[in-house]
Amino acid sequence: MKNARFRRSLAVGLALVGAVALGGCGTGTGGRALPTGNAQLPAGHPGTGKPAVTIGDKNFTEQYILGELYAQALRAKGYTVHLKADIGSSKVIDPVLTRGGIDLYPEYTGVIDSALADLSSLTAPGAPGVITSAPRSAAAAYHQAADFESHRGFTLLNPTPFQNADRVAVTPAFAKAHGLATMADLKKLSSFTYGAPPENRTRYEGLLGMKRVYGLTHAKFVSEPIGAQYRALAGGKVDTIAVFTTDGQLSRGGYAVLTDPKRIFGFQNVAPVVNKKVLAREGPQFAQTLNAVSATLTTKAIQTMNAAVDLDHMSPKEVARRFLNAHVLA
C-alpha cells in the first residue's frame, strides 16, 4: 500500500517537471543572465571508450539523489562512472575535489560564494576569483561562483531551475503563539534555540548571518545532523530549525517557514563543478548530458523525489532511475 501511494505521489509530482519556470533570477551581473539549457541528450553512446570518471556527493538526501541522477544518465550514454556518495559537507568534499579524489560533484551556487570562496579569502586575500561582495540575484550568484571555480581549474555547468535555500522553520503553533512570520520577528523572543547542522554555527547562511543582519544574538545553537532537526522540533528539543526549501518534509505541511526579507540565505541553484581537464578529455557530450539532467530539475520535481526517499523510504538510486526513465532518458 505504501509503495502504491509512493508511485501515485511520485507520478503526480514528476508530471510537473518543466512546468515551473526560473523565478527571481534577474541578471544583476552586468547583463549576464542565468544560463539555461534544454533537456536534449546527445544521441547514441558518446561515452563508450572514454576514461572513467568519479562523481561525488555530499551528506544528505538531495545530494544522494543528485549524485545518482548524474551518474545514471552518464552511464546510459556509455560513460564509465564511479559514484562516491556521502562524502561530507562542502568543507569536506571540496578538498577531495581539489586533490583529484573526485572529478565532479553537484554544489550550490550560494555555498560556493559564501563558504568556499570565503575560505579561499582567508588563505589568499585578494587572490583572483575570491568573492568580496554578496550577490544580489541568482544570476549574480551563479556567475560569481563560476568565476571563482574557473580560477581554480574547474567549470561550473548549467544550473538547475530549482533553488535549495536555507530557511528557518517553527511549528505552526509556536509561530501563532509568538506572532512569527519573518526572521525579524524572532527578535520578539527573549531567547530561542536553533537546531541546525554543525556547519551552520559558523556559516553566514546560518547563525552568523542571523546575528549580524537580524540582530538575533539571543539564539542558542543546538547541533543536529541533517534530517534529525525535524525530530528535534517535533519533540520540543528546539524552538526553531534550519530547513532546506526543497526538503520533502515541507511538501506535506506541518511547518511554518519564516521568510527572509534581508536575504541572508542567498541564492542556491545547483550546478555540477567539473574539473576542466576531465571535461576536455570526455568531450562536449559529457557536459551536454549533465546539463540535460539539470534542466529538468524543478522545485516540484526535486521536492517530490526528496519526499520519496525521506518519507516513503525509497532508495535514492531507485527514485533517480524512475525520474530519468520518465523525463530524461525516455
33 and 139 in one domain? yes
* Host domain of residue 205: 166-258
Strand ranges in the chain using DSSP code E only, listed in sequence order: 53-56, 81-84, 104-108, 154-156, 166-170, 192-196, 219-223, 240-244, 256-258, 270-275
Same domain, 123 and 189: no
Q: Are both 315 and 303 inside the same structural domain?
A: yes
Residue 118 within a domain: yes
CA distance 306 to 230: 14
> What are 222's three cell numbers?
543546538
Whether 35 and 180 map to the same domain: the answer is no
- Residue 263 in any domain: the answer is no
Name, in order, each residue with C-beta under 8 angstroms of 274's C-beta and a sequence gap of 6 or more. 103, 104, 154, 155, 156, 157, 287, 290
pLDDT bucket at 165, cuts 50 / 70 / 90: confident
Tell me if 123 is assigned to some domain.
yes
% the chain with pLDDT above 70:
85
- pLDDT at residue 251 in the model: 83
Distance CA 39, CA 248 (A): 24
Residue 2 has pLDDT above 60, yes or no: no
Query: Is 50 exceeded by the pLDDT of residue 320?
Result: yes
Answer yes or no: is 135 within a domain: yes
Domain finish residue from 258, 288, 305? 258
Report how many domains make up the chain: 2
Asked if residue 139 is part of any domain, the answer here is: yes
Model pLDDT, residue 31: 57
Domain match, 159 and 170 both: no
Residues 276 and 175 in one domain: no
Same domain, 50 and 185: no
Confidence of residue 229 (pLDDT cuts 50, 70, 90): very high
**Residues 159, 55 share a domain:** yes
Q: What CATH number has the domain bearing residue 240?
A: 3.40.190.120
pLDDT in tens, 65-115: 999 999 999 999 999 999 999 999 999 999 999 999 999 999 999 999 988
| CB-based contacts of 126, cutoff 8 Å, min separation 6 | none
- Residue 41 included in any domain: yes
Q: What is the mean pLDDT of residues 123-152?
A: 75
Say yes or no: 156 and 183 in one domain: no
Are 318 and 278 found together in one domain? Answer: yes
Is the domain of 306 the same as that of 252? no
